């Protein structure tokens, strides 16, 4: 991998590398990247991988090659204190509770001492505290170069450092924001880079959906209303000039919230009925009125000017949301307990993504543990909009034949059966008993997760004796910490545990997959994509749904063996993996390991002395 990355860095072009677990892909791109002496951006899918690269891997490689390299890490803007908003919040001094007020005092004191402005330096203020949006910025409310505190701004400083560093570590959100210039008021990272290395590249197309579309959310509208009052006051604009319009916006937002929130999930526009069209039109009216009232006031300072810019961009977004779907874009909405968001998204982001990549002069390396289906990269290459990219596939160096086993239990009903989750739990009881817990149970839906959690909470020994950790009960990192410490726990998770989770050693010896992870065809974006493939004369199942699910399954199975010493059993409960012809595509994409349908083999696996175990 290092050789191919070095060749690409020297010769140009784009390379897709699938590197199985344990290949050491991070070092395999860092070594040639650092030796090349070029300016490189490395983008990761998650903040924890960003931290790991910056704090651990880059210093090791840089020391090993004996060449000092200037490295910077740039986080998303919500990770930095915004001095301007801190000021606004101090003037307004309105907090939801005494506790929030005390957190604000703590942040204010820290603000006087911090050099970086990185809010992870503060302890004791919870991540979900409502004070954070009051002291951090969004691309919407940042005043950019018109900000009176621009020269002292922590984010500006972090960006400056990033622009002059040899290696910059970012995440996919920042990379995409830079690609589509959504971060107005700041310079761009990409034009200065010779190469971009995208790690966890399988996540990039889905993240791109957020950047190539248009969205308006109730929180964003609330923010505009609150900031209009705060910025207006600061600029000396009489409240009477804006308050009635802010109230109108609040009313339209409130009515839309009543009509659209509380349904939980991503929904087709049509499911909003006539209410969604009416709500969008009313919101457009209210924001337009506010924008028109702001227009003559915009020269009264950077605050009013930025408010006008925000209001104008919301007017444009709402105008797009007011237009019916066409073959290129679809509208859909998200409904949460107390909020909603309206979206208009390109049905297929790959062409736009590929164009943006090709617009940059430099080299692009995309890597991940899961990019291919069998040895075919076409699905990932197409989704990245890079069908012409070179490819390289490297198998995991782990001895899956000796270290692992794939168990496909017999007798389970079809996944659509009402008693499916109950039957699944029955079928894995003996496995969990034999492994002494130490298991991840990965579900494809929250509903199944909740059902399983309820049943396991009521279970008697031996299953009931294992500590049970359930996604949603506590933050993910905390659950993982407990899982590692407990050593015999059973963890129930959905999508966020299928990837990016690394538990080495004997705390994890079983990974149970409830169903083949086909994305729900009921999801509005998925169903629009499938329609588009059909309309173009394609076959959605083999061309899109199947490869997508294979890559997701590879990620889930990849949680089990993380080291040369790890041992364990993967249990895929879904009977379709043997009962349907496409099951073969899944099986052939997994690492080659012994496959059994007999529980006795699994029990024997756990009985065997690891040092003597053979295939």
Binding site for ligand SF4 (CB under 6 A): 82-85, 137, 142-144, 147, 149-150, 153, 155-156
Q: How far is the CB of 291 from ligand SF4 (least distance, A)?
A: 20
Q: Would you say 425 and 413 are in contact if contact means Cβ atoms under 8 Å apart?
A: no
Q: Which is nearer to ligand SF4, 158 or 394 (CB)?
A: 158
Q: How far is the CB of 151 from ligand SF4 (least distance, A)?
A: 9
Cβ neighbours for 249, distance < 8 A, ≥ 6 positions apart:
221, 224, 225, 283, 286, 287, 290
Q: How far is the CB of 521 from ligand SF4 (least distance, A)?
A: 41
Q: How far is the CB of 88 from ligand SF4 (least distance, A)?
A: 9
Pairwise CA distance, residues 38 & 275, whole Å: 54
Q: Which is nearer to ligand SF4, 302 or 354 (CB)?
A: 302
Nearest 5 degrees, angle CA 474-CA 478-CA 484? 125
Q: How far is the CB of 302 from ligand SF4 (least distance, A)?
A: 8
Backbone angles phi, psi at 67, to 5 degrees: -135, 125
Q: Give per-residue burial for 579-614: e unless 16+ CB within 10 Å, then b.
A: eeeebebbbebbbebbebeebeebeebbeeeeeeee
Residue 457: burial class (beta carbons within 10 Å; 0-12, 13-18, 19+): exposed
Q: How far is the CB of 150 from ligand SF4 (least distance, A)?
A: 5
Q: Which is nearer to ligand SF4, 213 or 303 (CB)?
A: 303
Q: How far is the CB of 212 from ligand SF4 (least distance, A)?
A: 24
Q: Which is nearer to ligand SF4, 142 or 453 (CB)?
A: 142
Backbone angles phi, psi at 513, to 5 degrees: -110, 125
Q: Which is nearer to ligand SF4, 205 or 303 (CB)?
A: 303
Going by their DSSP bridges, the two strands 265-268 and 214-217 should be labelled as: unpaired
| Bridge partners of residue 7, in order along the sequence | none
Q: Which is nearer to ligand SF4, 143 or 491 (CB)?
A: 143
Q: How far is the CB of 142 from ligand SF4 (least distance, A)?
A: 3
Pairwise CA distance, residues 514 & 55, whole Å: 36
Q: How far is the CB of 357 from ligand SF4 (least distance, A)?
A: 28
Nearest to 198 by CA among 395, 354, 35: 354
| Bridge partners of residue 266, in order along the sequence | 334
Nearest to 171 by CA among 135, 211, 207, 214: 207
DSSP result, 176-231: HHHHTT-STTS--SGGG-SEEEESSGGGHHHHHHHHHSEEEEHHHHHHHHHHHHHH
Q: How far is the CB of 49 from ligand SF4 (least distance, A)?
A: 25
Nearest to 15 by CA among 193, 202, 197: 197
Q: Which is nearer to ligand SF4, 143 or 530 (CB)?
A: 143
Nearest to 188 by CA among 362, 445, 36: 362
Q: How far is the CB of 89 from ligand SF4 (least distance, A)?
A: 12
Q: Which is nearer to ligand SF4, 144 or 493 (CB)?
A: 144
HSE of 347 in the Cβ direction (CA atoms, 13 Å)?
Answer: 16
């Amino acid at each position: 991998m290092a050789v191919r990355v070095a060749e690409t860095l020297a010769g140009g072009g784009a390379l897709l590398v699938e590197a199985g677990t344990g290949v050491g892909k991070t070092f395999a791109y860092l070594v040639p990247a650092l030796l090349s002496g070029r300016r490189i951006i490395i983008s990761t899918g998650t903040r924890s991988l960003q931290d790991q690269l910056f704090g651990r891997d880059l210093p090791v490689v840089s020391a090993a090659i004996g060449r000092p390299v200037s490295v910077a890490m740039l986080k998303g803007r919500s990770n930095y204190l915004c001095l301007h908003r801190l000021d606004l919040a101090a003037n307004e001094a309105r907090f939801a509770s005494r506790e929030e007020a005390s957190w604000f005092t703590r942040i204010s004191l820290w603000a006087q001492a911090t050099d970086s402005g990185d809010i992870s330096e503060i302890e004791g203020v919870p991540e979900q505290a409502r004070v954070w949006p009051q002291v951090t910025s969004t691309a919407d409310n940042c005043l950019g170069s018109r900000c009176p505190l621009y020269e002292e701004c922590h984010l500006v400083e972090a960006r400056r450092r990033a622009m002059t560093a040899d290696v910059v570590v970012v995440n996919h959100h920042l990379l995409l924001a830079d690609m589509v210039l959504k971060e107005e008021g700041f310079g761009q990272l990409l034009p200065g880079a010779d190469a971009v290395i995208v790690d966890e590249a399988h996540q990039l197309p889905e993240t791109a959906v957020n950047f190539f579309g248009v969205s308006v959310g109730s929180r964003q509208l609330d923010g505009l209303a609150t900031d209009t009052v705060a910025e207006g006051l600061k600029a000396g604009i009489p409240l009477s000039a804006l308050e009635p319009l802010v109230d109108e916006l609040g009313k339209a937002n409130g009515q839309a919230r009543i009509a659209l929130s509380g349904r939980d999930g991503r929904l087709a526009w049509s499911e909003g009925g006539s209410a969604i069209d009416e709500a969008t039109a009313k919101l457009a009216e209210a924001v337009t009125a506010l924008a028109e009232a702001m227009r003559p006031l915009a020269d009264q300072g950077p605050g009013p000017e930025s408010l006008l810019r925000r209001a104008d961009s919301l007017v444009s977004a709402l105008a797009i949301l007011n237009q019916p779907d066409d073959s290129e874009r679809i509208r859909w909405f998200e409904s949460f307990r107390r909020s909603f968001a309206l979206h208009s998204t390109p049905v297929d982001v790959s062409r736009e993504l590929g164009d943006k990549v090709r617009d940059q002069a430099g080299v692009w390396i995309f890597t991940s543990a899961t990019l291919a289906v069998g040895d075919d990269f076409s699905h990932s290459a197409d989704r990245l909009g890079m069908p012409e990219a070179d490819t390289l596939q490297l198998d995991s160096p782990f001895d899956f034949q000796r270290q692992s086993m794939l168990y496909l239990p017999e007798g389970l009903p079809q996944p659509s059966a009402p008693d499916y989750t109950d039957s699944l739990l029955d079928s894995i009881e003996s496995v969990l008993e034999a492994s002494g817990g130490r298991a991840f149970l990965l579900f494809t839906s929250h509903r199944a997760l909740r059902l399983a959690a309820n049943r396991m909470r009521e279970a008697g020994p031996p299953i009931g004796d294992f500590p049970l950790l359930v996604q949603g009960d506590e933050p993910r990192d905390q659950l993982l910490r407990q899982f590692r410490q407990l050593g015999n726990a059973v963890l129930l998770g959905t999508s966020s545990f299928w990837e990016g989770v690394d538990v080495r050693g004997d705390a994890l010896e079983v990974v149970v997959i409830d169903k083949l992870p086909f994305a729900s065809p009921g999801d509005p974006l998925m169903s629009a994509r499938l329609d588009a493939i059909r309309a173009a004369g394609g076959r959605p199942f083999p061309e899109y749904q199947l490869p997508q699910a294979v890559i997701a399954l590879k990620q889930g199975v990849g949680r089990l063996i993380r080291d040369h010493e790890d041992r364990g059993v993967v249990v895929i409960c879904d009977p379709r993996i043997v009962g349907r012809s496409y099951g073969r595509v899944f099986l052939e994409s997994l690492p080659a390991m012994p496959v059994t349908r007999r529980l006795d083999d699994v029990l024997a696996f756990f009985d065997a002395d690891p040092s003597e175990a053979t295939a």
